[in-house]
Structure 1
């Protein structure tokens, strides 16, 4: 047994590399094929956005026979309201949602992770329990509440709850991250006369940039792609988000503008891609280190 272990340990690195090379090639081949399979619909949509209208569904090829950007112009200005209005509405709602989630959820998470108060574990369990409640269960009570407040057909139902720490997932995520920060930092700050608020602002937040970026990215993407919420609360076309704007290109009673739909769908991916590109390092770090002791 000892000789077997010794011979395996003494094997040249080149032999180990040769044995693992076929497996590595097979794994990477499967990953590449899977990636191409997942990317094909996206690439086809981009290709269809620059095709003439009569050629969109005539081929599954990714290379168009001719380039035509008229779909972008038609999609941007073809409605009663320019598509830029929908972009602006989505941007305002998404940015406010990000700010609300990051600020409110970090405060709630700091209280659960660092402060001592009566019933802390009980309220934390209640908060986790809300994750198990389907959104549709609370939809009607929320709608009635916002209707009585006169908020329907405004962005308030989509934004105000975010400033009240309504996303339990982000609270839980931040609690796990905050618990990984050594308490000795809090104790040292208290000895220097720092209050709980100052510890949160000067110590916890600067050390928690990865998890804050993770919450910001997910909040932005989920809000930017949200269709159901705006569909319920926004009735005026001037308040439509991009998802509701895209729906206007498809009409069951008349001809649908597929070229305009694909063109505007392509444009709606740009902000999400850029947002993720700038914060991907913090996102990966936040997910990888959440819950780890440092």
Structure 2
């Protein structure tokens, strides 16, 4: 019985210790962690402005001796990243639209309606989380060949947008489940049907969740490599940014400075989108956890 007392006292002493740490100590610790977290990105920006030899001969110095802006021109024009950027934007935007609409509709039905087999459907969706992505590539290629969209951006969009996205469906279902039923009842009394209630009332109310799903889908699609590689294997002009990185890897050497410049080009839109949607992203995650 005596041995059960020291654990709470130890936890209490740790809490008291953290409370006695001055505020500037906490700020200093968080600043160091932030610098450690963003160092790889800063190094990539620095390497994109150096020559290939200076990338490794410069040591830990992040300031280039000579700013080589030609790396960006070489990545954009010579390596074809202008075309790859356009392909990536088309594929990503179309995939985000498909995933958001599909997951919102599924989440709305599962969250607001009870019908025979609804629990079985949820169980099957959850079970797909344990299926490795590599196992689905063969049926995806087979279906794309049957539809005649294998070597096209359309096939790439359908393949990326047709994933299960179970977590997004469950987030939408949890959010829609907590909304008042009076909203639907009032709209139905005014003559609104299923789709009108969804598009005009439910979907606008789920903007925080939609922003979260859109941002996560954008990140996953923008950085996707395996499926775009398969769909652009015989047509290099269909490559996305992640697949186009392979253009800097030669048989005997690698253009590290050009690859770093291409990496900066590819990551800037992601950073800009996250800064724009970060408030909605936090609200969506908080709402999903609360539900």
Given the two structures, how large is their TM-score scaled by the length of structure 2?
0.87
With over 3 angstroms needed to count, the CA separation of the structure-2 counterparts of 1:250 and 1:164, relative to structure 1, is: closer
The answer as to whether partners of 2:75 and 2:81 remain within 8 angstroms in 1 is: yes
What residue is the counterpart of 1:34 in the other structure? 33
The answer as to whether partners of 1:146 and 1:157 remain within 8 angstroms in 2 is: yes
What residue is the counterpart of 1:292 in the other structure? 290
The answer as to whether partners of 1:104 and 1:164 remain within 8 angstroms in 2 is: no
With over 3 angstroms needed to count, the CA separation of the structure-2 counterparts of 1:223 and 1:162, relative to structure 1, is: closer
2:275 is the alignment partner of 1:277 = yes
Offset from partner CA, 1:179-206 (integer Å, 9 cap, x none): 1211222222223332222211121011
Output the CA distance in 2 between the equivalents of 1:195 and 1:108: 17
Output the CA distance in 1 between the equivalents of 2:162 and 2:199: 19
* Alpha-carbon offset, residue 140 of structure 1: 1.8
The answer as to whether partners of 1:51 and 1:67 remain within 8 angstroms in 2 is: yes
What residue is the counterpart of 2:213 in the other structure? 215
For 1:102-141, list aligned pairs within 5 A: 102-141=100-139
Q: Judge which range, 89-98 or 192-201, deviates more.
A: 192-201
What residue is the counterpart of 1:71 in the other structure? 71
The answer as to whether partners of 2:172 and 2:209 remain within 8 angstroms in 1 is: yes
2:268 is the alignment partner of 1:264 = no
* Alpha-carbon offset, residue 54 of structure 1: 2.3
State the SS of the aligned residue for 1:57.
helix
State the SS of the aligned residue for 2:290.
coil
Output the CA distance in 1 between the equivalents of 2:268 and 2:162: 29
For 1:33-52, list aligned pairs within 5 A: 33-52=32-51
State the SS of the aligned residue for 1:33.
helix
With over 3 angstroms needed to count, the CA separation of the structure-2 counterparts of 1:177 and 1:165, relative to structure 1, is: farther
Offset from partner CA, 1:158-196 (integer Å, 9 cap, x none): 322566573222111111111121122222222333222
The answer as to whether partners of 1:180 and 1:290 remain within 8 angstroms in 2 is: no
For 1:197-212, list aligned pairs within 5 A: 197-212=195-210
RMSD across aligned positions (CA): 2.1
Instruction: Give the number of aligned pairs.
Output: 274
Output the CA distance in 1 between the equivalents of 2:94 and 2:101: 11
Unaligned segments of structure 1, at least 5 residues:
1-17
What residue is the counterpart of 1:10 in the other structure? none
Given the two structures, how large is their TM-score scaled by the length of structure 1?
0.86
Q: Judge which range, 90-99 or 22-31, deviates more.
A: 22-31
What residue is the counterpart of 1:168 in the other structure? 166
The answer as to whether partners of 1:44 and 1:61 remain within 8 angstroms in 2 is: no
Output the CA distance in 2 between the equivalents of 1:145 and 1:180: 38
* Alpha-carbon offset, residue 62 of structure 1: 1.3
Unaligned segments of structure 2, at least 5 residues:
1-16
